[in-house]
Structure 1
Amino acid sequence: MTSTEMSTIFAPAKLGPLTLRNRVIKAATFEGRTPEALVTEELIAFHREVAAGGVGMTTVAYCAVAPGGRTDRHQIWMRPEAVAGLRRLTDAVHAEGAAANAQIGHAGPVANAASNGYPALAPSRMFSPLGMRPMAVPKEHEIPELVAAHANAARLAAESGFDALEIHFGHNYLTSSFLSPRLNRRTDGYGGTAEKRARLAREIALAVKEAVGDRLAVTAKLNMEDGVRGGLTVPESLQVAAWLEADGALDALELTAGSSLLNPMLLFHGDAPRRSFAKVLPVPARWGFRAVGRSFLKEYPYQEAYLLERARHFRRELSMPLILLGGITNLDTMRLAMTEGFDFVAMGRALLREPNLLHRIQSEAGTRSACIHCNECMPTIYTGTKCLYRLGSPVIAESLPVVNGKSQVQA
């Protein structure tokens, strides 16, 4: 790694109207620190620590655009009452020299109606395994209300001091479910052809851009593929991305994959923590998980930059800035992303394990992340997302597995 390559990654970089201090973004990972659906001091501390660790921008997830758009009632939803707390959070992030990004969206079929007290939404008739009831299907004339909710959330994010927005078009959340041929069986103006299925994503992106103008950078997290039979594929997603690029509402795309509804491990790779999830899932989801856990939580071997092969197709076809996600844990992989033409990289689990990882990398180029990709952090979303093996974790050492002969508390 040359000093020039190091300076490319850790030098200031433009993202739309925003200048980040470097090209590393803390990816949106649900924090589990908002029990009243409002910002807490624990959430502020979570993002302050990551910002102090050196990222260019940290992403707050998940800021739902409506109360029924949450995966459960404990998530933030964007309303005037949330602004003061969000302003404290963005001020804390800015004080550490980083930018603040708000992920906004509607969970759609991934929403838990039983928890939220609002019906989950899907593009077509479906039964909710979370809420254990049929989902509501918005009529065509109701969809503009969903678009307007995204625009309103964007305005509230700007009022809260955010520098950027990430619109959630991935993981079979609402907009992603409209993109999926498997989930979207509509015959109106929002279903059928790829262009009609992409209509909601395009309308939301344009509405959000109109709401915030050049005050905030506007990005979107887009599924490259759902990873399920009959779902969105790379060729169709490429066409969607081309339409979004032509519309000109987005400053960058963050490329992702997988379905929170049907195949979540395609996003994560590494170990599938089935046993841990079976212990913590709320009833009745726990009963269903015990029956289908092995087929639901599939196992994909971990490797660095594991989404790169898919993402290369997008880099070849698009001219807009792209953010590479998935298996970014060290300087060599960051360099690879830059060499391949990606503008930014996004990190998640590695920063849960070591919020100061970037400072360590800048001090010693050969630094390797201590993350072992066990994904035991995933089931902690119900009690506050964390790495169980991080130094200082309250988890009892005896309950942790031993890897390479060492307890992971000391690894």
Structure 2
Amino acid sequence: MNPPDVFAPARLGPVELRNRVIKAATFEGRTPDALVTDELIDYHRRPARGGVGMTTLAYCAVSPEGRTDRHQIWMRPEALPGLRRFTAAVHDEGAAACAQIGHAGPVANAASTRLPALSPSRRFSPLGMRLTRAATAADLARVVEAHAAAARTALAAGFDAVEVHFGHNYLVSAFLSPRLNHRTDAFGGSLANRARLALAVARAVRDAVGDRLAITAKLNMDDGVPGGFWLDESIQVAQWLEADGSVDALELTAGSSLLNPMYLFTGDAPVRDFAARFPQPARLGLRLGGRFFLREYPFREAYLLDRARQFRAALNLPLILLGGITTVDTMNLAMAEGFAFVALARALLREPGLVRRMRADAGARSLCVHCNRCMPTIYTGTHCVLAPEPAR
């Protein structure tokens, strides 16, 4: 059979997208009051106008302590009017709208949220410079229901899909990780126990919205740290999710925002740019020791593909390929290898109209140079430092 055309319409669960290109979730830095702003809407309107099939709003926490900092949206009644304006604007451009929902767990900055960060086991967090709190069974039940409530809010706001965040050592991902999860109760030890929270969250979201929304999960293939979650266990979790029927697709990712963030991004590590965002003495500390945390991995096209192939071989579930997709040839390769969708992040930050340009010229490639200097701009409004001002 001929592989599908990446630019032709495709179904994601109950939703038809105009093509198979998704704007991946990347924190926008445009919600100073934890609510939708005109700047946030414009940020997503540009890639929607530029031709993506769906754009993903990041990051929508399911509870106030689940934010990485206090400026992020959390799904509550006060957020609903702005979220409705957001989906209307995206739909006006012909694209679908997805809300990424999740709980940051140990990646939450407790100094910013002024609430204890939850994690599988008590540990020191360099993000908030304080100890996290081991989540109780009651905390986990509340978090599961909060995901369901967030999905219902997304449905009421007019979203077409939700993406549940099971990656980057956010709460669910931290429970999956044997390095971070040292529990001895029903949520620790065996993989079946460590995956209990992921399966419960996915099922709660599905039960909350049924087939009225597409549901995807952003799942770590591996954490990129010794002793962390890795391919063999991740494939098993993916198979359990597929068997449960709770998700319509998986977006495969990697790395730990807590322990090794550059493992996902690859390319240059902008240590000096990050350091410049902080006051002294943190600035000096980052400049001297930042290379130990922001490790540098050389960029290569489709750098997650080798690992993602293992999942394609083990599953029938639709898969979304993420990671360094910059050419139509790579998109076509993904389609030929059985992936249902491709997801772009930095390439669309550099050039929101990239998909439209690629449709017109199959030889077009992204202008992104993978310098990653966009990463420190999350504190002032995420943007590509090389993009012209109107594109920001």
Aligned to 2:169: 172
* CA distance in 1: counterparts of 2:303 and 2:50, whole angstroms: 24
- Tell me if 1:121 matches 2:118: yes
* CA distance in 1: counterparts of 2:60 and 2:275, whole angstroms: 27
Which of 346, 351, 354 in structure 2 is aligned with 1:349? 346
Over residues 58-87 of structure 1, what are the superposed CA-to-partner deviations in whole Å (9 max), with x where a residue is unaligned? 000000000111110110000000000010
Which of 193, 199, 203 in structure 1 is aligned with 2:200? 203
* CA distance in 1: counterparts of 2:376 and 2:207, whole angstroms: 37
* CA distance in 2: counterparts of 1:244 and 1:285, whole angstroms: 41
Aligned to 1:409: none
Query: Once the 2 structures are TM-superposed, how far is the Cα of residue 289 of structure 1 from its aligned partner?
Result: 3.0
SS of structure 2 residue aligned to 1:167: strand
Length-normalised TM-score, structure 2: 0.97
SS of structure 2 residue aligned to 1:8: coil
Alignment of 1:189-200 (within 5 A): 189-200=186-197
Aligned to 2:11: 14
Alignment of 1:270-281 (within 5 A): 270-281=267-278
- Tell me if 1:254 matches 2:248: no
CA separation of 1:205 and 1:284: change in aligned 2, threshold 3 A: farther
CA RMSD of aligned residues (A): 1.6
Which of 75, 78, 81 in structure 2 is aligned with 1:84? 81
Query: Once the 2 structures are TM-superposed, how far is the Cα of residue 330 of structure 1 from its aligned partner?
Result: 1.3
Q: Does the Cα contact within 8 Å between 2:275 and 2:282 map onto a contact in 1? A: no
Query: Once the 2 structures are TM-superposed, how far is the Cα of residue 140 of structure 1 from its aligned partner?
Result: 2.0
* CA distance in 1: counterparts of 2:3 and 2:305, whole angstroms: 20
Q: Does the Cα contact within 8 Å between 2:4 and 2:335 map onto a contact in 1? A: no
Aligned to 1:53: 50
Structure 1: which 5+ runs fail to align? 396-411
* CA distance in 1: counterparts of 2:118 and 2:279, whole angstroms: 21
Which of 23, 28, 48 in structure 1 is aligned with 2:25? 28
SS of structure 2 residue aligned to 1:44: helix
CA separation of 1:77 and 1:380: change in aligned 2, threshold 3 A: same
Query: Once the 2 structures are TM-superposed, how far is the Cα of residue 329 of structure 1 from its aligned partner?
Result: 1.3
Aligned to 1:44: 41
Which of 157, 180, 185 in structure 2 is aligned with 1:183? 180
* CA distance in 1: counterparts of 2:114 and 2:249, whole angstroms: 34
Aligned to 1:398: none
Return the letter of the residue paired with 2:347.
A
Return the letter of the residue paired with 1:122.
S
Aligned to 2:142: 145
Which of 294, 315, 321 in structure 2 is aligned with 1:324? 321
* CA distance in 1: counterparts of 2:118 and 2:140, whole angstroms: 11
Aligned to 1:383: 380
* CA distance in 2: counterparts of 1:393 and 1:383, whole angstroms: 16
Return the letter of the residue paired with 2:254.
A
Q: Does the Cα contact within 8 Å between 1:140 and 1:189 map onto a contact in 2? A: no
SS of structure 2 residue aligned to 1:218: strand
Length-normalised TM-score, structure 1: 0.93
Alignment of 1:66-105 (within 5 A): 66-105=63-102
Over residues 145-201 of structure 1, what are the superposed CA-to-partner deviations in whole Å (9 max), with x where a residue is unaligned? 110011111100111110000000000000000000000000000000011000000
* CA distance in 2: counterparts of 1:136 and 1:112, whole angstroms: 12
Query: Once the 2 structures are TM-superposed, how far is the Cα of residue 131 of structure 1 from its aligned partner?
Result: 1.4
Query: Once the 2 structures are TM-superposed, how far is the Cα of residue 290 of structure 1 from its aligned partner?
Result: 3.7
SS of structure 2 residue aligned to 1:9: coil
Return the letter of the residue paired with 1:17.
P
Return the letter of the residue paired with 1:276.
D
* CA distance in 2: counterparts of 1:120 and 1:358, whole angstroms: 39
Q: Does the Cα contact within 8 Å between 2:3 and 2:336 map onto a contact in 1? A: no
* CA distance in 1: counterparts of 2:202 and 2:59, whole angstroms: 17
* CA distance in 2: counterparts of 1:299 and 1:181, whole angstroms: 24
* CA distance in 2: counterparts of 1:284 and 1:152, whole angstroms: 41
SS of structure 1 residue aligned to 2:298: coil
